[in-house]
A and B are shown apart, each in its own frame.
Chain A
Amino acid sequence: MNDRSKKKGDGSPGLAFERPIEEIEAQIAELESLSLSTRLDISSEIEALKARLRETIDKTYSELSAWERVNVARHNKRPVANDYVTELVDDFFELHGDRTFGDDAAMMTGFATMEGRRFLLVAHRKGRTTKERLECNFGCAHPEGYRKALRKMRLAEKLGLPIVCMINTPGAYPGIGAEERGQAMAIAENILAMFSLRVPIVAIVIGEGGSGGALGIGVGDRVLMMEHAYYSVISPEGCAAILWKDGERSPDAAEALKLTSKDLLELGVIDEIVNEPLGGAHRAPSVAMNELKRVLLRHLDELIEIEPEALIAGRHTKYRRIGAIEGRFPTVAPSLGEIDVPPRGAAAPDSNGSAPGLTSRVEGADGRAQRRGGGAGPGS
Chain B
Amino acid sequence: MADDPKQNDAPKKKGDSKAKAEQDQAEPTEKKQGRLSRLRFSKKKDMPGGLWLKCESCSEVIFRKELEEKGRVCPSCGFHFTVPGRERIAMVLDEGTWREQFAEIEALDRLNFIDSTPYSEKIARTVKRTGQNEALLCGFGEVLGKPIVLAILDFGFMGGSMGEVVGEKLALAIELAIRDRRPFVVFTSSGGARMHEGVLSLMQMAKTCAALKKLNDVGGFSICVMTHPTTGGVTASFASVTDIVLAEPGALIGFAGPRVIATTLKQELPAGFQRAEFLLDRGMIDNIVARDKMRETIARLLDYVDEAPYESAAAAVRHA
Contact = CB atoms under 8 A, between A and B. Distances in A.
Contact of B198 (A175, A178, A215, A233): A233
A323 interface: yes
A73 to B, nearest CB: 14
Interface residues of A, number: 72
B210 A316 contact: yes
Interface in A135-169: 137
A231 interface: yes
Interface string A201-220: 00000000001100110110
A258 B105 contact: no
A315 B86 CA distance: 35
B62 interface: no
B11 to A, nearest CB: 21
Contacts of A369: 172
Contacts of A343: 217, 313, 316-317, 320
Interface in A50-104: none
B288 interface: no
A184 B235 contact: yes
Interface in B206-240: 206-207, 209-214, 217-218, 231-233, 235-240
A46 to B, nearest CB: 43
A224 interface: no
B320 A196 contact: yes
Contacts of B214: 316, 357
A174 B264 contact: yes
Nearest to B175: A332
Contact of B115 (A234, A244, A269, A339): A244
Interface stretch (A11-19, A36-44, A185-193): A185-193
By CB atoms of chain A within 10 A, which of B102, B179, B255 has the most? Answer: B255
A243 B237 CA distance: 23
By CB atoms of chain B within 10 A, which of A335, A343, A344 has the most? Answer: A343
Nearest to A267: B200
B172 A179 contact: no
Nearest to B180: A336
A191 B265 contact: no
B305 interface: no
Given A179-B255, A232-B199, A330-B102, A319 B206 contact: yes
B114 interface: yes
A231 B199 contact: yes
B273 interface: yes
23 contacts: A174-B260, A174-B264, A183-B255, A184-B255, A188-B238, A191-B237, A192-B241, A212-B202, A212-B233, A256-B115, A257-B198, A267-B110, A316-B210, A319-B210, A329-B105, A331-B172, A332-B175, A332-B176, A334-B179, A336-B179, A336-B180, A339-B310, A344-B320
Interface of B: 1, 3, 101-102, 105, 108, 110-111, 113-116, 164, 168, 171-172, 175-176, 178-181, 193-203, 205-207, 209-214, 217-218, 231-233, 235-241, 253-256, 260-261, 264-265, 269-270, 273-274, 278, 282-284, 310, 313, 316-317, 319-320
The 9 A-B residue pairs whose C-beta atoms are closest, nearest first, are A174-B256, A184-B235, A332-B175, A184-B255, A188-B240, A243-B115, A183-B255, A343-B316, A184-B236
